[in-house]
Amino acid sequence: MSSADRDAPGFTTRILHSDRSDGIEHGSLHKPVHASVAYGYEDARDLAAVFQGRQSGYSYGRQSNPTVEALQRKLTRMEGGLGSIAFGTGMGAIGSTLFALLTSGDHMVSSSFLFGNTNSLFGSFGQFGVDVSFVDATSVDAVAAALRPETRLVFVETIANPRTQVADLDAIGELCRDRGLLYVVDNTMTSPWLFQPRDVGAGLIINALTKYIAGHGSVLGGAVTDTGLYDWSRFPNIFEGYRKQPPAQWGLQQIRKKGLRDFGASLAPDAAQLVALGAETLALRMDRACANAQALATLLAAHGRVDRVFYPGLPDHPQHERAARLFRHPGAILSFELDANVDLFGFLNRLEVVVSSSNLGDNRTLAIPVAHTIYHEMGPERRASMDIRDSLIRISVGIEDEADLLGDFEQALNASA
């Protein structure tokens, strides 16, 4: 049972009533969008006090905004933690967080099964003197073998896209705790409704709000949440100036200053309002999308024109039991390979309900030919090393009526010879 169930009130109730519990403006049931960039003070000494951190308040929109802060509190309540910082995109959250925390000479261990742009970002860390070891994170042994004295953190995703490998989340959490390492978990694929990385000892949680949390494919956003489990006094890279408060605050403080403020990948207040609106139905949408995904994976696995199907909810998935133990549902992403005789683009073009598109977590079901799009840039050799075949299609399963979704795949497969 995850902490989402243990805590009262429940997960969705907490989201719905989060803004009210923080004090409501004008009786407004939704946090208003505060569009102002700057904030004025009648007494200039108050402005100075805000700048110096002696007084709470707002100064400039890149660093803080009341609408964005309301969303941050909501995200903290969803993940269970000390605090959150929102960014303009998921990549903004990952890049700003790691640039704020790592320095030349450091080493980090990352899963080799990563969102493509995260993989590309980590590939550039070498030019700043940060060495990254990419390992098969489905086994804690691979992570343990890669650790060095200068290792500062371990970064994994929960369910990897497109092949749906499930990281050895709880064992890696224990390893990080034993070694005093910061454990960073990208929870985008599962969202806090399916899984709370705090339960396996994560210190920082990344969420691409763009995907399931906002949900409707209409807004970009990202966030980092500090769970409070990591002891920042063990982290050598905290600047002297950020060590004044209790150590629990150090990490977020440095990410807020060196990441959010200095890189400026800030979330806009109108985007924050859309994310907050989407979050209200996260649990409802995910339950439905995951049920659809399970039904679709079962249909595809039994179809003669499909080779391999990758979905943690299928009993023959290598991490099926791990997913069943850790996650409320096995997610709403699956991928599959068409039989070699089936024309890939002909099949995709025959789908009528399903849209050929990138993105994940829209209410609509989206299909993308992986090797030809999101994995095109890495080239055929790297794809072969990751066992990404040309016939692989990733599906982000939406909330359509199940019969319509299954019927669409059936007609398109049956018409493909």
Ligand X SMILES: *Cc1c(COP(=O)(O)O)cnc(C)c1O
Positions touching ligand X (CB under 6 A) are 89-91, 115, 118, 157, 161, 186, 188-189, 208, 210-211, 220, 222, 360
Nearer to ligand X, 65 or 210 (CB): 210
**Cβ of residue 24: shortest distance to ligand X, in angstroms?**
29
Q: Which residues, 6 or more positions from 170, have their beta carbon under 8 angstroms from its beta carbon?
A: 200, 201, 326
Nearer to ligand X, 91 or 130 (CB): 91
Nearer to ligand X, 194 or 208 (CB): 208
**Cβ of residue 134: shortest distance to ligand X, in angstroms?**
15
Torsion angle, alpha carbons of 390, 396, 401, 404, to 10: -10
Nearest position to ligand X, beta carbon: 90
Nearer to ligand X, 368 or 412 (CB): 368
Of 191, 228, 128, whose CA–CA distance to 328 is shortest? 191
**Cβ of residue 309: shortest distance to ligand X, in angstroms?**
20
Element (H, E) at 170: helix 169-179
**Cβ of residue 161: shortest distance to ligand X, in angstroms?**
6
**Cβ of residue 111: shortest distance to ligand X, in angstroms?**
10
Nearer to ligand X, 91 or 300 (CB): 91
**Cβ of residue 220: shortest distance to ligand X, in angstroms?**
5
Please return the burial class of 339, using the count of CB atoms within 10 Å of its CB with bins 0-12, 13-18 and 19+.
middle
**Cβ of residue 368: shortest distance to ligand X, in angstroms?**
12
Contacts made by residues 115-120, CB under 8 angstroms, sequence distance 24+: 115/90, 115/157, 115/161, 115/186, 115/188, 115/208, 116/374, 116/375, 116/377, 116/378, 117/91, 118/91, 118/94, 118/157, 118/186, 119/378, 120/377
Strand 222-226 vs strand 182-186: parallel, antiparallel, or unpaired? unpaired
Q: Residue 152 and residue 172: Cα distance in Å, rounded?
A: 14
DSSP letter (8 states) at residue 274: H
Q: Residue 159 and residue 79: Cα distance in Å, rounded?
A: 17
Q: Residue 394 and residue 374: Cα distance in Å, rounded?
A: 10
208 phi and psi angles, rounded to 5 deg: -80, 105
**Cβ of residue 369: shortest distance to ligand X, in angstroms?**
17
Q: Tokens at residue 258, please?
A: 């060196």
Strand 107-111 vs strand 83-87: parallel, antiparallel, or unpaired? unpaired
Nearer to ligand X, 2 or 210 (CB): 210
Nearer to ligand X, 155 or 242 (CB): 155
Residue 305: Cβ within 10 Å count: 16
Nearer to ligand X, 147 or 355 (CB): 355
